[in-house]
Amino acid sequence: MLEVDGLVKAFGGFRAVDGCTMRVNEGEILGLIGPNGAGKTTLFNLIAGALQPTAGTIRFLGEDVTPLSTDALFHKGLVRTFQIPHEFGRLTARENLMMVPPAQPGEDLFANWLSWGKVQRVEEAVRRKADETLAFLELSHVADERAGNLSGGQKKLLELGRTMMTDAKLVLLDEPAAGVNRTLLRKLEEKILILNRDWGYTFILIEHDMEMIEKLCQPVVCMAEGKVLIQGDFHTVRSDARVLEAYLGETPSAIERNEFEHDPKVEQLREQELHKEDL
Amino acid sequence: MDLLGLANYAVFMAILIGIYALLALGLNIQWGFTGLFNAGIAGFFAIGAYTSAILTSLPAAHRLGGFELPMVLGWVAAMLVAAAIAWPIGKICLRFRSDYLAIATIGIAEIIRLVIRTEGWLTGGVRGITGIPRPFGELPYMQSQLAFLAIVVVLVLLAYMLVERQVNAPWGRMMRAIRDNENAAAAMGKRVADRRLQAFVFGSALMGLAGALFVHFNRSITPEAIDPMIATFLIWIMLILGGSGNNRGAILGAAAIWIIWSVSELLTDRLPTEVAIQAKYARVFIIGLTLQLVLRFRPEGIVPERQAGAASSRR
């Protein structure tokens, strides 16, 4: 379904992604792990078209999509979520979902005058779908709440919901578990499995929560220093010597305790604070 | 001031409030709903004003124009030309983030002002354009004023309805999404650059219309009228005070600020001449102070942006 071949992304002299080659088959939930700075998110940005690679190709459904931008890839069925929730803060949760479906007639300035009836009919259908999605995610009670006021975990669910409002084929999830409490996390895992099994979504999942990776992902890919170290099932990857070495300074027992690195939740909060200052 | 004089003054003020309301609605599309920091409102106002002036005025020896076309045609042309000039500007500048866009648009408005001052063959240079017709201008003063007010009110209402429908439609939702998070909107398949350009052009067209109304009201125009204080910053303050992201707020803000601005002029004009000059600055100070107070105590404006979900779900 997705073939990444010899992908390189250089920022000045630093090669964040350095000759990355991997393949994702339809129906998989591929787990992407690796220490911080391994190039996972950069790889996501390249696949999703937010960054242009320095070298290499990306093929999606047999088509070369390397030069395409994010919005064009969306229309091909490749949809992403973000590590830091990218909700539309001043839109309600329902509106966050309703804005997603592509080619809504009401997005055309003139259609709002020339075919208002059609605009409203489509709008009604979109609203129903949004409400169904909110119900599926168990977010119906916050449908009219501004998305900026939701909790971090609810925002993550909402982002997953956005991928359900279009005909997604491949969904890129960037750390869906970061900053999400245990109860919500189980819910999130369950939803991802349902989407995979019943909706036929293929996923690539960046995650530091090893429990989640073990539960959901097959195969697992470990990246380090911009390259793919190893691909295989969870237990093979986890016990591979190169993987252990990549997580510098960490002992195997720490890995057992899911402490590959600093607490991702703390990191998430810190990043959110930084992000707020940027705004 | 006698009663008739007071009524006259009220009508005069209402007409200008209407013209400013159009400008504020135009800015609301750009900033309130799309997040584009246009600090060159005066430029688009001027383009609209001069376009309609050139097309409808009486012939004059020293400049182009004097086509004596019907005024309605002049207004439509004012919107079209303002939109046509906004398009390439937006195409280049909208790639900038908001603060850079502000600097770029200030620069562009200044360029437009300089072109108008120096290209005398087109615009009459510093002498400006006179002999611009006025709708119902042949009626006695009071009737003519009232008729003009009626036209302005109708146009503001039309513009209000036009903008309201667009921002409550999926178009407006998409724009607010782009404003809130550009990257996520792109990830949801929206063509961010094209959509921002659309909003920029749409808003600029309304600003052009306001310019056209202004010249027909004034019957003449000189480059003095394109003062960024009056034609850019005042409108920003109107929108912020009224409530950006809310069209009723934009109109209310236009009324409130214009009343403060012109009543303070009445007061300063009564002062003895020695202090009247300094008092002019006090007016700017009062406006600045108003802005500070609003930002401190009610940053979302008098009528804040509606939580659109609540409005649309309660249908």
Q: Which of A252, A261, A223 is nearest to A17 (CA)?
A: A223
Predicted confidence band at B279 (pLDDT cuts at 50, 70, 90)?
A: confident
Same domain, yes or no, for A98 and A177?
A: no
Same domain, yes or no, for A272 and A171?
A: yes
Complex ipTM: 0.83
Decide which of A149, A176, A192 is a domain's last residue. Answer: A149
**Interface check B201 vs A, CB under 8 A:** no
**What integer pLDDT is reported at residue B74 of this predicted model?**
93
Is residue A124 classed exposed, middle or buried when 0-12, 13-18 and 19+ CB atoms within 10 A define those classes? exposed
Q: What is the share, in percent, of chain B residues with pLDDT greater than 90?
A: 57
**Interface check B299 vs A, CB under 8 A:** no
Same domain, yes or no, for A108 and A81?
A: no
**Interface check A278 vs B, CB under 8 A:** no
Quote the domain boundaries for residue A141: 89-149
A–B CB contacts, 8 A cutoff, strictly below? 112
Average pLDDT over residues B125-134: 87
Can you give the residue ranges of every domain in chain B?
A: 18-225
In a domain, A120, yes or no: yes
Summarize pLDDT for A113-137 with one digit per residue, the tens.
888 899 999 999 999 999 999 998 8
Residue of B nearest to A116 (CA): B169
Same domain, yes or no, for A139 and A167?
A: no
Cβ contact A234:A214 at 8 Å? yes
Spatial separation of the C-alpha atoms in residues B157 and A64, rounded to whole Å: 51
Same domain, yes or no, for A61 and A145?
A: no
Same domain, yes or no, for A78 and A188?
A: yes
**Interface check A76 vs B, CB under 8 A:** no
Same domain, yes or no, for A175 and A51?
A: yes
Residue B202 to chain A, least CA–CA distance (Å): 10
For helices B273-297 and B247-270, the axis angle rounded to 10 degrees is: 150
Task: Name the domain count of chain A.
Answer: 2
B170/A99 Cβ within 8 A: yes
Same domain, yes or no, for A173 and A256?
A: yes
In a domain, A47, yes or no: yes
Same domain, yes or no, for A76 and A109?
A: no
Q: Which of B138, B155, B163 is nearest to B30 (CA)?
A: B163
Same domain, yes or no, for A80 and A135?
A: no
Mean pLDDT for chain B overall: 89
Summarize pLDDT for B168-221 with one digit per residue, the tens.
999 999 999 999 999 899 999 999 999 999 999 999 999 999 999 999 999 999
Same domain, yes or no, for A203 and A98?
A: no
Predicted confidence band at B311 (pLDDT cuts at 50, 70, 90)?
A: very low
In a domain, A128, yes or no: yes
Find the CB nearest A99 among B177, B245, B310: B177
In a domain, A158, yes or no: no
Decide which of A118, A149, A180 is a domain's last residue. Answer: A149
Predicted confidence band at B270 (pLDDT cuts at 50, 70, 90)?
A: confident
Can you list the alpha helix ranges (DSSP code H) found in chain A?
40-47, 70-76, 93-98, 111-114, 116-136, 152-163, 182-198, 210-216, 234-238, 241-246, 252-256, 264-278
Average pLDDT over residues B81-104: 88
Residue B98 to chain A, least CA–CA distance (Å): 11
Same domain, yes or no, for A127 and A101?
A: yes
Q: Which of A115, A138, A123, A222 is nearest to A184 (CA)?
A: A138
**Interface check B63 vs A, CB under 8 A:** no
Predicted confidence band at B307 (pLDDT cuts at 50, 70, 90)?
A: low
Q: Which CATH number does the domain housing residue A40 bear?
A: 3.40.50.300
Summarize pLDDT for B32-79 with one digit per residue, the tens.
999 999 999 999 999 999 999 999 988 877 777 778 888 999 999 999
